[in-house]
Structure 1
Amino acid sequence: MPMHPDWLQPAFGIPGVQAVMTTRAGGGSVAPWDSMNVGLAVDDDPAQVARNRALLQEATGADLVFMKQVHGTRVLRLTGEHLAAPVLEADACVTIEPGLACVVQVADCLPVLMAAPGGVAAAHAGWRGLAGGVVEAALCDLCKATGCKPAEVVCWLGPCIGPDAFEVGADVLEGFGVQSAGADPARFKPLRPGKWLANLPQLARDRLAAAGVTQVSGGEWCTVRDQVDGRSRFFSFRRDRITGRMAAVIWRR
C-alpha cells in the first residue's frame, strides 16, 4: 500500500531514514474519528483502529511500536522485544534497529522526530512534556545510542496547535520559567488579562537550539485551523474534544 497523498513525508537527508506523519485522511473510522484514527483510548471501534494501524504498517513497511503516552519525559530504548511486550508508559522512544519504527500519537501536542547516523527517535511534546524536558531526554538518549553529537541530529517538528490558537494561562508560562510581565511575544503573545497565545513550535526550537541542535525544520501546520477542501485536515482535541489521533513515525530501512 502506498502512502496516502495527504500524509506528510519529511526528508531528513540521512541515508536510510524514512518518516511519515498521518493526517485525518486514509483510514476507515467513522465520525467523529474519521478517518485515519490510530488512537485506542478515544472510544473509537478498536477493530477499526487496528485496521488503521495495519494500513499504516503496510504503507511504511516497518514494525510500529506504540506507547501509552502520559505527558511525561520517560524515554524507551526500543528493540524487537517491544513488539511482543505490553504497551509501556513513555512519551519518547529511540531505536538503532533497522525496520523498527518509533511512533508518537498526537492531536494538538507537538510531535518531534529526530534522526542521526545510525538511529532515530520520536518525542510527544505537549507543553508539560516540553517544559519538563522530554525533547532533551530523547535527544540525549539518541546521542548515547548512536555516539553522535547534537549538531549531527536532524529534527522535524510536525503539526500541532498553532501560535494563533493555543490559548494558555500563567501556569504554562511558569512551567517554562517565564515571568508574565516580561514574556517574549514571539513565544507568549498577550491575548487578554491572564491569557496568552503560546508558540509551541518556537518553544521547541528554543529547547533544541539550547541543546546544540542546529538542523530543525517543520512546525508550520496548525492542527486546529488547517483545512483541505473545507474540512479539517488534522485531529484536534482542543477544537473537538471527541476526536482521533494521528501518528508521527520514523524508522531506518
Structure 2
Amino acid sequence: MADKGTSQESIIWANWPAPDHVKACVSTRYGGFSDVPYQSLNMGDHVGDDPSCVVKNRAKFLHLAGLKTVGQWLNQVHGIHVVDARDDGKVREGDAVMTDQPNLPCVVMTADCLPVFFTDQAGSKVAVAHAGWRGLVSGVLEETISAMALEPASLMAWMGPAISRHYFEVGPEVRREFIEHDLAADAAFQPDYMSRGKYFADLYALAKMRLNHAGVDAVYGGNYCTWDDNRFFSYRKEGTTGRMASMIWINK
C-alpha cells in the first residue's frame, strides 16, 4: 500500500522548555499507509485497521523520530496504573508509562483524550499519561507524578492534542465527579444550553488544575483541538477512526 503524505506532516514536537536531551512528539494522521476510515498514519492496533498497516505506520513514526527501538506501548483501559517501561517489546496494561533509561520511548495513544508529558528540570526521568475524563478524575496525573518519585516542583508538563471545550459534551455525572474532588473544577464546565442538563468540559483546564494541585506549576501546551484540526483523529467526531501516538524519551 502506498505511503500517503510527507514526513513533514507526520510529527508535531512538544513546545516546552525541557532539557535538550528530552524528546517528545505526537504523530498526526498524515503520512502513513492505512485506508479509510483510518487514513493514514493510524497507530492503533485495536480499532479494526489492517494490522500490517499499523505495523508499518508505527515503524515509520519511530524512524521519523530517529529511534531504532520499539519502545513501551500500552493496552489502555482508562485507569491510573503507571507502567515502568521495558525494552522487551511486550505491550503492558496501563494508562501512563515512565522511564529513566536512555533511548527507551514511552508511548500512549489518543484520539480526543489528553496526552500529558512529564519530565524534570534535569531530564533524569520522563513519562507520558493518557488522560481522558475518567483517568483525570480517578487521578492518573497524580499517580504518574507519584511514580516518578521526584519533587513535583521540579517537574514540568506539556499537554498535547485533545478535544477542546467547544466540542466535549458530557453529562452532569461527569461534572459532579470532578466537583466532588474539587469545587473549583466547576469553572471548567459550561452548560450546553442546546441540550438540557449537559455540559461542555474543558479537559485542558481540568488537567491543569490537577497538575497545579499536585505541585506541578510549570504546565505548557493545551492549544490544540482534535475535533477542529484535521491533522488529528477524533473519536467523538468520526466514531470509527485511528489513533495518534504520543511519545517521550531520553535521547542519549
Question: Do residues 43 (structure 1) and 48 (structure 2) align?
Answer: yes
Measure, in 2, the Cα distance between the counterparts of 1:12 and 1:101. 19
CA deviation after TM superposition for structure 1 residue 93, in Å? 0.7
CA deviation after TM superposition for structure 1 residue 12, in Å? 3.6
The residue that corresponds to 2:3 in the other structure is: none
* Contact 1:235/1:243 (<8 A) preserved: yes
CA deviation after TM superposition for structure 1 residue 207, in Å? 0.2
* Contact 1:12/1:115 (<8 A) preserved: no
CA deviation after TM superposition for structure 1 residue 140, in Å? 1.1
When residues 184 and 131 of structure 1 are mapped into structure 2, their CA distance, relative to the original with a 3 A threshold, is: closer
Measure, in 1, the Cα distance between the counterparts of 2:239 and 2:209. 29
| Residue identity in the other structure for 1:152 | S
Residue number among 11, 14, 20 corresponding to 1:15 in the alignment? 20
Stretches of structure 2 that go unaligned for 5 or more consecutive residues are 1-5
TM-score, normalised relative to structure 1:
0.89
The residue that corresponds to 1:218 in the other structure is: 221
Identity %: 42
Moved more, 43-52 or 183-192: 183-192
TM-score, normalised relative to structure 2:
0.89
CA deviation after TM superposition for structure 1 residue 3, in Å? 5.4
The residue that corresponds to 1:166 in the other structure is: 168
Measure, in 2, the Cα distance between the counterparts of 1:13 and 1:161. 24
Measure, in 1, the Cα distance between the counterparts of 2:185 and 2:211. 18
Residue number among 234, 238, 241 corresponding to 1:240 in the alignment? 238
The residue that corresponds to 1:110 in the other structure is: 114
* Contact 2:34/2:53 (<8 A) preserved: yes
SS in 1 for 2:13: coil
Measure, in 2, the Cα distance between the counterparts of 1:29 and 1:217. 32
Number of aligned pairs?
A: 238
* Contact 2:115/2:159 (<8 A) preserved: yes
* Contact 1:23/1:234 (<8 A) preserved: yes
* Contact 2:111/2:243 (<8 A) preserved: yes
The residue that corresponds to 2:189 in the other structure is: 188
| Residue identity in the other structure for 1:177 | I
CA deviation after TM superposition for structure 1 residue 61, in Å? 2.9
Stretches of structure 1 that go unaligned for 5 or more consecutive residues are 227-231
